[in-house]
A and B are shown apart, each in its own frame.
Chain A
């Protein structure tokens, strides 16, 4: 075939899609189903964006690409760290280099080797981007200017504001209708203080608007109450000689009685990104020149702004639309000049939107707390219709010589209850706290865990690691004891009942060797917990907390999730060609795409061509 076009819809849930199609909605996806076929698509252990898309890219199970979770741990310190990329610095004189931790061979490398061009937009776990013949724009994994998944800033005239974990707060005062404040930039590695960029705000209460004046671009930025501003390009002076550019946008939440303004995480600016986000390096900026500035961070949707209640659902929906619109522009621009080879564009918004609006589909969701849910009950479906429209737009570029694929990496489900995995390990004598401490007294980062007596610990989204002698800094388990420990954990957790609800919270626990194989399997968690629908690890678990009690209601606005038993978290797969519908999986996509473009599949690829 001459062309393969793949549209990724992150987290697009088959149950919702199927029900909508049964009602005759999603006409473009239905058309695809008729032309070729539709199936649920088997996701990865664990069912997470970076893990699943890396399997899409490489055609291997996670043991073949080394991404098992958003987080991994440093065995020397037990601290959770970002699993997707790492910064390496040869010496103090050179800049750190970012290294992609997704390993294995993505199929576009094989295409490039055969001179087949690719256009790949917003692929997760390609930061820094792969050197591809064609163009690549990195997606999930690209940090903000502070090096994390995204730190926002909230400005308020209220004093004593509580700062949530992924944000900064600045108390400001309005004097004669003016506010002098700053945007927070990267951290100074020498002093640990923040670099700042001064801004002046002029408040025009009567017109419900403000102006931000600064040395950025534009010099004067206007914004309306409740609306998202345009981008402001800012430049932080990070030394006498150096600077770092970024872009930021605002949401003006309130003018009175209190002044409240939200600033997004500072995204890399495409002309001078701190680290490359595209291949070739100038591509990101060339694209911005064509379609305008766009979000560059991997997590473009400001879900934390909503989670921290810095703006409301309407504002979040608006922002999701902005992201969707700019992604669509990107797609349309590139499809417009796409003639042959491989094309991919990922839309992250279905995932980020459903995480935050799932609760409105379940009146009994603990996060609703009596709130009227009807207002937003149909938001996910409305969004799915918009996604269907985008699919329809892309389909216009498919001819008889095109393989056209729409897929999601995993589905979406309810997240009503969280299991405190470390507390379970504690109660069952697998994890010990230092003398005098009990659950509830050991916050994040395993602060009061007694490593000399701990056999197993959990962090990330359902990973359990053993405290192995010779591997972890204070490891205590020999190989023989390790096996006994694993048997104990598997038998104890499997079928674990949430007694408050008389429901089974844990369906099974997978051992590393049952689900992972390949060169990087030794980096995998020793055990992976497979949750039932409605459950997930609790909020206190991913960074290594040991809170009180086994289960907790999820009262956060982030009320949907998919990190459950992968068997319950399948994605969707539509193709415009008849395909084998016997349990296709993400591992099958790479061989299918390669074969369609007449390139032999890679030796390590585990799946097979779905069209054969």
Chain B
């Protein structure tokens, strides 16, 4: 599974979670899980701290031979997403925005919407603000509100995306031991739905 992380430095939870205009973000919140994070938000990408160096999500994926790219603006990110040739993209944006935008949250939501257009279904998407997050993946068994430690994010992301976790790590994956969703989805009574939809026509 591909991994797309949007780290929104300085973005406030109260804004992200309660501004009804942020339609794209709200849809993602409904699709996946969201909540509050304890700890230093800047440490979201830390997987393990060794004496001499710190292993981050990006580094871990690079070591696994994956295509990892980092961005600080949406247009460059979208170019990469559109190319389709990537395994992990990380965007870092600052709130309030450097460009002095009057409404950075709404701008972000629009940019988010544009970025979503370029994703495939097998993408894990995480949006990380100051002490808060939204996490969406088709196999994510957790929906609704979830809270935990900032350091849990990277292990959770990696496990959902299908990577084996190193034994030496700081946080714990929220989905450890849980059965992941099968993306095939539910079987539906397609005929009943079709019949209902079409029969209101009158002619049939």
Chain A residues proximal to chain B, CB less than 8 Å: 48, 70-71, 79-82, 90-95, 143-144, 146-151, 165-166, 187, 190-192, 238-242, 265, 299, 303-304, 307, 352, 355, 444-445, 461, 539, 542-543, 558, 561, 563
Partner among A70, A93, A191 whose Cβ is within 8 Å of the Cβ of B136: A93
Residues of B within 8 Å of A94, CB to CB, are 113, 116-117
Q: How far is the CA of A143 from the CA of B113 in the complex (A)?
A: 25
Residues of A within 8 Å of B188, CB to CB, are 192
Q: How far is the CA of A563 from the CA of B201 in the complex (A)?
A: 14
Residues of B within 8 Å of A303, CB to CB, are 202
Q: Residue B182 at the A interface, CB < 8 A?
A: no
Q: How far is the CA of A444 from the CA of B202 in the complex (A)?
A: 16
Partner among B29, B138, B195 whose Cβ is within 8 Å of the Cβ of A92: B138
With both beta carbons as reference points, the residue of chain B lying nearest to A187 in the complex is identified as B193
Residues of B within 8 Å of A543, CB to CB, are 194-195, 198-199, 204
The 6 A-B residue pairs whose C-beta atoms are closest, nearest first, are A148-B197, A239-B30, A149-B200, A150-B200, A542-B204, A241-B26
- Are B200 and A299 in contact, with the CB atoms below 8 A? yes
With both beta carbons as reference points, the residue of chain B lying nearest to A80 in the complex is identified as B198
Which one of B55-63, B69-77, B119-127 is at the A interface? Answer: B119-127
**Least distance between A155 CB and chain B CB atoms (Å):** 18
Q: How far is the CA of A79 from the CA of B190 in the complex (A)?
A: 10
Not counting A149-B202, A187-B193, a sample of 8 additional A-B residue pairs whose C-beta atoms are within 8 angstroms of each other reads A81-B194, A82-B198, A91-B123, A92-B31, A93-B28, A166-B199, A239-B27, A352-B202
Q: How far is the CA of A307 from the CA of B189 in the complex (A)?
A: 25
Most B CB contacts (10 A, CB to CB) among A71, A239, A461, A539 go to A239
Residues of A within 8 Å of B191, CB to CB, are 79, 444-445
With both beta carbons as reference points, the residue of chain A lying nearest to B26 in the complex is identified as A241
Partner among A70, A93, A148, A192 whose Cβ is within 8 Å of the Cβ of B116: A93
- Are B136 and A146 in contact, with the CB atoms below 8 A? no
Q: How far is the CA of A91 from the CA of B120 in the complex (A)?
A: 6
- Are A241 and B29 in contact, with the CB atoms below 8 A? yes
- Are A93 and B123 in contact, with the CB atoms below 8 A? yes
- Are B202 and A240 in contact, with the CB atoms below 8 A? no
Q: How far is the CA of A146 from the CA of B197 in the complex (A)?
A: 8
- Are A355 and B202 in contact, with the CB atoms below 8 A? yes
**Least distance between B114 CB and chain A CB atoms (Å):** 10
**Least distance between B85 CB and chain A CB atoms (Å):** 17
A-B contact pairs, 19 of them (CB 8 A): A70-B198, A82-B197, A82-B198, A90-B117, A91-B119, A93-B31, A93-B116, A93-B125, A94-B117, A148-B198, A149-B201, A151-B196, A239-B26, A240-B29, A240-B30, A241-B29, A265-B200, A543-B195, A558-B203
With both beta carbons as reference points, the residue of chain B lying nearest to A81 in the complex is identified as B194
Q: Residue B102 at the A interface, CB < 8 A?
A: no
- Are B194 and A79 in contact, with the CB atoms below 8 A? yes
Residues of A within 8 Å of B28, CB to CB, are 93
Residues 170-204 of B contacting A (Cβ, < 8 Å): 186, 188-191, 193-204
**Least distance between A53 CB and chain B CB atoms (Å):** 15
Do A242 and B27 form a contact, CB below 8 Å, given A93-B123, A165-B195? yes
- Are A165 and B199 in contact, with the CB atoms below 8 A? yes
Most A CB contacts (10 A, CB to CB) among B188, B191, B198 go to B198
Residues of A within 8 Å of B200, CB to CB, are 144, 148-151, 166, 265, 299, 304
Chain B contact residue count (CB 8 A cutoff): 34
Residues of A within 8 Å of B186, CB to CB, are 190-192
Do A149 and B199 form a contact, CB below 8 Å, given A91-B120, A92-B138, A93-B136? yes
With both beta carbons as reference points, the residue of chain A lying nearest to B194 in the complex is identified as A79
With both beta carbons as reference points, the residue of chain B lying nearest to A297 in the complex is identified as B200
With both beta carbons as reference points, the residue of chain A lying nearest to B185 in the complex is identified as A190
With both beta carbons as reference points, the residue of chain A lying nearest to B25 in the complex is identified as A241
**Least distance between B202 CB and chain A CB atoms (Å):** 5
Residues of A within 8 Å of B30, CB to CB, are 238-242
Residues of A within 8 Å of B136, CB to CB, are 93
Q: Residue B79 at the A interface, CB < 8 A?
A: no
Q: How far is the CA of A151 from the CA of B197 in the complex (A)?
A: 7
Residues 83-131 of B contacting A (Cβ, < 8 Å): 113, 116-117, 119-121, 123, 125
Q: How far is the CA of A317 from the CA of B44 in the complex (A)?
A: 64
Q: Residue B144 at the A interface, CB < 8 A?
A: yes
- Are A149 and B197 in contact, with the CB atoms below 8 A? yes
- Are A148 and B202 in contact, with the CB atoms below 8 A? no
Q: How far is the CA of A206 from the CA of B198 in the complex (A)?
A: 40
Q: How far is the CA of A241 from the CA of B30 in the complex (A)?
A: 6
**Least distance between A54 CB and chain B CB atoms (Å):** 16
Q: How far is the CA of A92 from the CA of B30 in the complex (A)?
A: 12
Partner among A146, A192, A265, A307 whose Cβ is within 8 Å of the Cβ of B202: A307
**Least distance between B159 CB and chain A CB atoms (Å):** 20
Residues of B within 8 Å of A265, CB to CB, are 200
**Least distance between B10 CB and chain A CB atoms (Å):** 22
Do A461 and B196 form a contact, CB below 8 Å, given A239-B30, A242-B26? no
**Least distance between B19 CB and chain A CB atoms (Å):** 11
Q: How far is the CA of A367 from the CA of B194 in the complex (A)?
A: 27
- Are A240 and B144 in contact, with the CB atoms below 8 A? yes
Residues of A within 8 Å of B194, CB to CB, are 79-81, 445, 543
Most B CB contacts (10 A, CB to CB) among A192, A241, A304, A445 go to A241
**Least distance between A149 CB and chain B CB atoms (Å):** 3
**Least distance between A194 CB and chain B CB atoms (Å):** 11
**Least distance between B60 CB and chain A CB atoms (Å):** 24
Q: How far is the CA of A457 from the CA of B187 in the complex (A)?
A: 27
Residues of B within 8 Å of A95, CB to CB, are 27
Most A CB contacts (10 A, CB to CB) among B186, B201, B203 go to B203
With both beta carbons as reference points, the residue of chain B lying nearest to A69 in the complex is identified as B203
- Are B196 and A165 in contact, with the CB atoms below 8 A? yes
Partner among A92, A238, A445, A542 whose Cβ is within 8 Å of the Cβ of B203: A542
Residues of B within 8 Å of A187, CB to CB, are 193
With both beta carbons as reference points, the residue of chain A lying nearest to B144 in the complex is identified as A240
Q: How far is the CA of A149 from the CA of B197 in the complex (A)?
A: 6
Do A299 and B197 form a contact, CB below 8 Å, given A95-B27, A192-B188? no
Residues of A within 8 Å of B204, CB to CB, are 70-71, 461, 539, 542-543
With both beta carbons as reference points, the residue of chain B lying nearest to A536 in the complex is identified as B203
**Least distance between A605 CB and chain B CB atoms (Å):** 29
- Are A146 and B196 in contact, with the CB atoms below 8 A? yes
Partner among A239, A241, A444, A558 whose Cβ is within 8 Å of the Cβ of B195: A444
Residues of B within 8 Å of A558, CB to CB, are 202-203
- Are A461 and B203 in contact, with the CB atoms below 8 A? yes
Residues of B within 8 Å of A445, CB to CB, are 191, 194-195
- Are A192 and B189 in contact, with the CB atoms below 8 A? yes
- Are A70 and B203 in contact, with the CB atoms below 8 A? yes
Residues of A within 8 Å of B202, CB to CB, are 149, 299, 303-304, 307, 352, 355, 558
Residues of A within 8 Å of B125, CB to CB, are 93
Residues of A within 8 Å of B197, CB to CB, are 82, 143, 146-149, 151
Residues of A within 8 Å of B26, CB to CB, are 239, 241-242
Q: How far is the CA of A265 from the CA of B199 in the complex (A)?
A: 13
